[in-house]
Structure 1
Amino acid sequence: MKYIVTINGKKFEVEVERVSNGNGQVDVSKDSKKVSNNEISKTISGGIKVSAPMPGKILSVNVQEGQKVKKGDVLFILEAMKMENEIMAPEDGMVEKVLVSKGSQVASGDILAILK
């Protein structure tokens, strides 16, 4: 079973698995949390990874490196299953790195940009 646990304002994804001896095993993803439909995780440098929530094609890149963004700003438009999906900034910050371009094919979980 998977749970989202909040500790000191930070969200952690925890997976609990029952093992053969009747005890439990807990795996914690220490650096990840879910915000809206975008999975983000803190990088070692303190940045935030903005990931593709599903496979598809990047129709537009609405930001450039060094640009300031606010939570909810549309960073990318991702076409998946003939629908356009807005990939939004999960929080305020600055675009440190854009890792895709218009026309790029991405898989679910691929990192599209890193925010600071």
Structure 2
Amino acid sequence: MKKFQITFKGQVYELDVEEISGAASTGKKAASSPVPPSAPAPVAAQAPAPKAAPAAVPAGAQTVIAPMPGKILAVNIKAGDSVKRGQVIFILEAMKMQNEIMANQDGKVSKVNAAVGQTVSTGDVLAVLG
């Protein structure tokens, strides 16, 4: 039997939890009893981690950004490759669907910021085309 203390909606509860190995069970049920709430320990306010500033984009270059959050399934380019407008350069999985991310202009890939398996957020810069 292990004892745990949890707080739910400001109420402190003490739980006794029995570990069951395999399918055997003793038939005992865990009991919970409210514990009088104690004064919560003060938590130091933490400033959110500063978000990395976007890298400077050379004049005339375009960025390819993630239109939605998801996971990169394929990267079809590398730095130095030439691409044509409309060419599929990334496959992004979002909500169990594969979305093609295409080059937004003709040009040369100057930087690739995403890798296969990476999770990206909306607005993340996936590549820079110059």
TM-score by length of 2: 0.56
The residue number in structure 1 matching 2:96 is 82
Give the 3-state SS of the residue equivalent to 2:105 in structure 1: coil
Provide the C-alpha distance between the structure 2 equivalents of 1:44 and 1:62, rounded to a whole number of angstroms: 22
Q: Which of residues 90, 103, 111 in structure 1 aligns to 2:125?
A: 111
How far does residue 91 in structure 1 lie from its aligned partner after superposition? 1.0
Give the 3-state SS of the residue equivalent to 1:101 in structure 2: coil
Pairs within 5 Å for 1:36-115 = 43-115=57-129
Higher strand proportion, which one?
1
Q: Which runs of 4+ in 1 moved over 4 A?
A: none
Give the 3-state SS of the residue equivalent to 2:91 in structure 1: strand
User: Structure 2 counterpart of 1:54, which letter?
Assistant: M
Q: Name the larger-Rg structure.
A: 2
Provide the C-alpha distance between the structure 2 equivalents of 1:51 and 1:100, rounded to a whole number of angstroms: 10
TM-score by length of 1: 0.62
How far does residue 44 in structure 1 lie from its aligned partner after superposition? 4.4
Provide the C-alpha distance between the structure 2 equivalents of 1:73 and 1:44, rounded to a whole number of angstroms: 22
Q: Share of identical aligned residues, percent?
A: 57
Aligned residues: 75
Task: Say what the alpha-carbon RMSD is for the aligned residues.
Answer: 1.4
Provide the C-alpha distance between the structure 1 equivalents of 2:94 and 2:109, rounded to a whole number of angstroms: 24
**Can you list the C-alpha shifts for 1:28-67, whole angstroms capped at 9, x where unaligned?**
xxxxxxxxxxxxxxx4432111000000000000001000
Provide the C-alpha distance between the structure 2 equivalents of 1:64 and 1:94, rounded to a whole number of angstroms: 10
